[in-house]
A and B are shown apart, each in its own frame.
Chain A
Amino acid sequence: MTTIELVPKPATIKRMIDESRDVKSYVLEMNESLTMPALPGQFVEVSVQGYGEATFAVTRKSKGDREFTISVKRIGHLTKMLHRAATGDIVGVRGPYGNSFPVDDWKGKDILVIGGGIGLAPLRPVIDHILLNRKDYGSMEIIFGARTPDDILYKEDLKMWESDKSILLHKTIDVPFEGWNGRVGVVPAVIRDLGVKPDRRVSIVCGPPIMIKFTAAALRELRWPDDRIFTTLEMKMQCGIGQCGRCNIGEKFICKDGPVFSLDQIPEHAL
């Protein structure tokens, strides 16, 4: 290795998709025939020259490893800059970092995907992977919750998944909203309503910290064992390589030892 890992490589914004009020997705193509071989659950550090960097889950791959997509919720200074970008702009990327969902271990199993808001982003590659290798996996059920209908992401994917006979999709919004005829209620409540059984299934959960916490509680109530509940944690990460220090849960670094954990691997306070 000749250059410091912390210095990113350039990638070009190929396409931008307005997902919701405050979320945009960016399809990034690596410049100079570089690749980004991200596995489902892995993340990248994206930087804007002059404005530092931030962590984003890779939410889709395309063109082999040349292109990948990130979804950006406008929340901090870097995401604000990204939202001002135009196609053709160049950003810096480094990664992929972190572990990934053990999709190979799950072969033959039924999968339950539970996403809240932008938390669906790191889970989408898992869904993509299963759909691509459909016969290797059993049934797939997706529960997706958003705060309001305006906050629903990946509308095209949802439409596709809805029409796919091999997927059972539940969409829900947190509180009643004019013009919304679908399910209403927060994700943990929906899980209880549906009474989702562990059976031969593994579940993967991602969303805001509070949602993960209560979803885990709901699943445990339904007698899901901890080692079959997977989550990907969104603590503050910066360096992505286990050096800057801030993303630790006890001795573990989320960026290095995670971000994917089954609940039995992390202490309760990490939730």
Chain B
Amino acid sequence: MKELRKKIKELFENGEVDAVLGYREDPATGGVKAAVFKKDETLDDMVFDGRCIQNLVNYLPTLVARYRKVGVVLKGCDGRSLVTQLVEHRISKSQIIALGIGCEGVEIDGREAEKCGDCATHMSPVADYEFGEKEEKKEPTFARVEEIEKMSPVERWKFFADYFAKCERCYACRQICPSCYCEICIADQQEPKWIEPSAKLSANTMWHLIRAYHLAGRCADCGECERVCPQDIPLRLLNNALEKAVHEMFGVRPGTVPEEVPPLVVLNKDDPDRILEGKNE
């Protein structure tokens, strides 16, 4: 933390950044808040610890429109979502100073977040500066996905339909997701109405299928969608299922390799046809 503050101070002094996006202690709640630090502001209340669960990448597009150069504090998973943002021309790397922090896991309500148990990326794949330990990489297990995969189709649909039925379509999952940034979300489109506006099982199912599909090969598993869902729909489960599928079929772990093009737009003439049969191989 000390080094991080020192580096940020240095960056400000050298004029290398105009603002730094990080986490700030929030005495009112005892938690932390995303915050934009500017040149002459104190960095004393800047923190990085287990409470810093929020993915800050979502703010970057707005910030780079307002500041010439923005520093950003990144956990491993946040860094992965930054990769997608860079590849998809959302943000230009030239406007970003990535401050990667070796993440030892973050918490929700005092307990380690579920995503961290299966985390394979503790350090941001894009980092101009790295701080803290860079833990060794391991492979995610997707244990939760496998549990669902063991169920029968009927059981699975029952499981998800109960959740989908509860969805209020507040789109908090969309808004917090850095990779959901369409000018006009398909859910807001009037004609044709692939997704009807009202919250009912059919339209909600469409929404969750499309959301998951649109994130396939792009989702960095920051888990923010699931965290903010007011109805506690296990959205990460859908994302993870496709993350697992994309890795099994195309050998890609989204966001872990800088400048890697999302697998769903990659041309590969040699994909085996068996992937069309949904075989787990």
Contact = CB atoms under 8 A, between A and B. Distances in A.
Interface string B162-191: 000000000000000000000000000011
A52 interface: yes
Interface residues of B, number: 2
Contacts of A64: none
A77 B193 CA distance: 10
Interface in A56-90: 76-78, 80-81
Contacts of A76: 190
Contacts of B191: 51, 77-78, 80-81
10 contacts: A51-B190, A51-B191, A52-B190, A76-B190, A77-B190, A77-B191, A78-B190, A78-B191, A80-B191, A81-B191
Give the top 10 A-B pairs by smallest Cβ distance, nearest first. Answer: A77-B191, A77-B190, A52-B190, A51-B191, A76-B190, A80-B191, A78-B190, A81-B191, A78-B191, A51-B190
A247 to B, nearest CB: 17
Contacts of A77: 190-191
Contacts of A80: 191
Interface in B188-210: 190-191
Nearest to B189: A77
Interface in B27-59: none
Nearest to A77: B191
A51 B190 CA distance: 8
Interface in A78-105: 78, 80-81
Nearest to A54: B190
Interface string B83-125: 0000000000000000000000000000000000000000000
Contacts of B190: 51-52, 76-78
A76 B191 CA distance: 9
Nearest to B192: A77
A76 B188 CA distance: 13
Contacts of A78: 190-191
Nearest to A51: B191
Given A51-B191, A78-B190, A78-B191, 7 more contacts: A51-B190, A52-B190, A76-B190, A77-B190, A77-B191, A80-B191, A81-B191
A51 B191 CA distance: 8
Nearest to A76: B190
B44 to A, nearest CB: 38
Nearest to B191: A77
A80 B190 CA distance: 11
Contacts of A81: 191
A50 to B, nearest CB: 10
Interface in B2-22: none
A77 B191 CA distance: 6
Interface in A141-156: none
Nearest to A81: B191
Contacts of A51: 190-191
B265 to A, nearest CB: 27
Interface in A10-63: 51-52
